[in-house]
Structure 1
Amino acid sequence: MEIVFTQKHTNQYGIDIPEKFNVIGKYCFQKCYDFVDFDIPTHITRLEDNCFYECTSLISISIPTSISKLPFGCFYECSSLTSINIPTSISKIGYRCFRFCSSLKSINVPSSVSELPAYCFLCCRALKSINIPSSVREIGWNCFCGCYSLTSITIPSSISILGSDCFSECSSLTSINIPSSISELGNYCFKECKSLKSINIPTSVKTLGYGCFKDCKSLTRINIPTSVSNIGNECFSGCTSLTTINIPTTVSKIGYGCFNECSSLTSINIPSSVKTLGDGCFCGCKSLTSINIPTNISEFRKNCFNMCVSLTSINIPSILTSIGAQCFIDCKSLTRLDISTSVQIIGEECFRRCTSLKSINVPSSISVLGKSCFSGCYSLTSITIPSSISVLGPHCLDACKSLSNIELPTSIKGIGDCCFVACYKLKSINIPSSISKIGIACFKKCFSLTKINIPTSISELGNECFNECKSLKSINIPTSVKILGDGCFKDCHSLKSINIPISVSKIGNECFSGCSSLNYINIPRKVRRLEKNCFNGCLSLSDIDIPTTISEIGYGCFYGCPTELKKNKTLKKMYYRKYYDDDDCIIV
């Protein structure tokens, strides 16, 4: 018959357990701060879960041979416990048994124990060594996770699987012996073992789990045996000291982020057996200068070579059909790339900030160049857009500072916002008649643009469309255009005159603001209002006729203009007093 000593009994007996009790109940001594040393009486035959939970003052404890099991959370967060002797009578240690015993320096595991369960020694930060007997057949997930002081460990040959996060964050672990009995290294098994320099993986291992060696920052080399067929996602991610690695011919897939941030990796040979490269596979491999891609790779997934800043060249397999989003972003040393005609998709931001890329051929198999596809390719001097292209996405060629000319085929039906913004050397461009709208800030800061042809298919010039085109002297706007967007020609300092067609019904805010050379402009009769700051800073605009259709002039419309305004009878509102006190505007 079991008689349980519970927490309420401690009010009567304290920590002295009478002989009539043979079980210590759940949470019995929870947060009992009064005792430092404790000998469990020999008449106790069983301990219930969490019985010494958070006894933070407990330094040592004696366990009698009458007890056969250490239950779930038995010594959970006994943060002052420095050592413990587990008798051979113990056959089972429960989950979280010594979790957060942060002062525990050593512990013996008797040969009677067959399993070290999940979270058993989690965050035992002072634990320097532990002897695992050959009787143990399984080490559970997170078992030694966060054991910062653990320097070495010998795994017995009785173990076949190392569970997920088993030795994760053992930051002082320098070496570990993996026996030939191991067939699988679990997910994040050695994650953040920052002192681990090398490891020998036996030929018995078939699987390297997700993030298995992630952030092992001191790991310089590793030999992957031919028995391995699967390298998990993020397996070597963040191994910043890894300089070289062999991938055996048994591997068919390299998981996503597998070598992410392996910043010291200079070269890698991918065998022909590999058919899949995962997302972000080599992202951040800053020392990687070249890579040989096997001919059977059909897809570069997103972020695959992102931030490979030293990569100078790469071969494109003839069967490649897709280059994913951000695939080569920040490949700053890549000078040339020949894309095979098999490629049908180039993802968004694919070549963004490839600052050394001078030329690129876009094959006729491509129909869309997505958002920011070549954005920030500072050295790109020319690019051929094939007639298969129907859309140039937003920011597609923005900040291509060396691009001097480009031919747009008649197949293009859409040019995205900010498509050519900051193409400083672009001198002229011919917009095909297939385009109906020039998007927001499309040619903003094209400082060298002197000539542009606007076809009769265009109905709207978007906001800031030609903003800061400082070399643009004149422009012909066809009668198809109905709207001039906000800031459309703002700060076009060389623009002297412009003929606005009678079709235009709206001139946006700040449309000609800062056009300091503008000396003539006509306002069509369809325009009903001159928006705020429309001609602000037009220092050369000396004379302007306001048609009778104008009923309102917005704030600061002619601020800074030495202009004589001929006020018409239909003008209802003119906001001039607050803004015209210091300028030369005359109202007649």
Structure 2
Amino acid sequence: MKLGYNSIMIVSKYFDDINDFINLEIGIKRFQGNMERFHFNPIPLNKYSRKLFTNIETFHIYNKYDKIFDDGIIFKHVIWYQVDYSTYLKEKEQGNICKNIIYTEEDRDKYGNTIPSEVKSLGAWCFSKCSSLTSINIPTSISEIGYGCFNECTSLKSINIPSSITSIGCDCFYRCSSLTTINIDNLQFISKERIFMNEPVLISCEIPDNLQIINGKNICKKDINEFIIPSSITKLGDCCFSYCSSLRSINILATINEIGNCCFDGCSSLRSINIPSSISELGNYCFRYCLSLRSINIPSSITSIGDWCFKGCSLLKSINIPSSIISFGDGCFYLCGCKEKLKKNKRIPRDCFEL
């Protein structure tokens, strides 16, 4: 079956490089003129490649540093990189579209505590020290809650966390002394340290000191070692198990293909963990200060170890470094029990053992 004009146009939307477009038209005669049929730029353009897309009406800006064109018949911009709410309003006045809007602390000071429906994420410290805030509705348009977002909201009594949330920053509810009720759309597990929620990205947040009710019921905390990660989970989010000090072991299923930064940071009782071959990277601070971790098997699927990944793992004596690893983060083996042994490995840079 031969692809037609419309089909190849749909396929070529996912090309990454201008050379892919050029080679398509050179290699297959019937697809000559494919670039001329586009009314938007599917990739960032420069002075040369701009000449090949002659009929662009809507110019897409994918990165903050992309070259911007207003020539020809271009009448509108679509901005894909993150912009604050104030910038979005200015762009909207000019007829432009913003796809990734963050509500910052400055935005909240200027526009108030009601989160606009266009916003996709809440910035770090967005509502920090907002002492007048008693409750808040997080719309389903929100996917990320930044670091310390509701820090010291001392009057905040209740909050709803929708299933659209895929990331919650550390210290999100720090010193929310009046927070007694949380409603969570997709609750997974409650341990003594954290509340686990959502799928396919498993995320968590610290349990506020005075929290009493979750989803209309009194809190029933369980031993974190009873937690079995559901097979529906494909990613462990940033800080997911961080500072779960009683966690001794955990089984990571092969359905999981990503482990976030700081995922097991400060799990001081963690003795054993399996890393399935579905994982390709170990994030920054992933196992930092896992003080009881004695051995770990790194599969050959791993290509990168993040910054400070095993920092302070003082009892870690057995670790294999497969040849598949091509990137070692700064300080990834600093204060690690196996550092003297690893220093003999010529592939590992000196920066891995130093601050």
Q: TM-score, normalised by structure 2?
A: 0.46
RCO comparison, higher one (Cα < 8 Å, 6+):
2
Q: TM-score, normalised by structure 1?
A: 0.30
Q: Which has the higher helix share?
A: 2
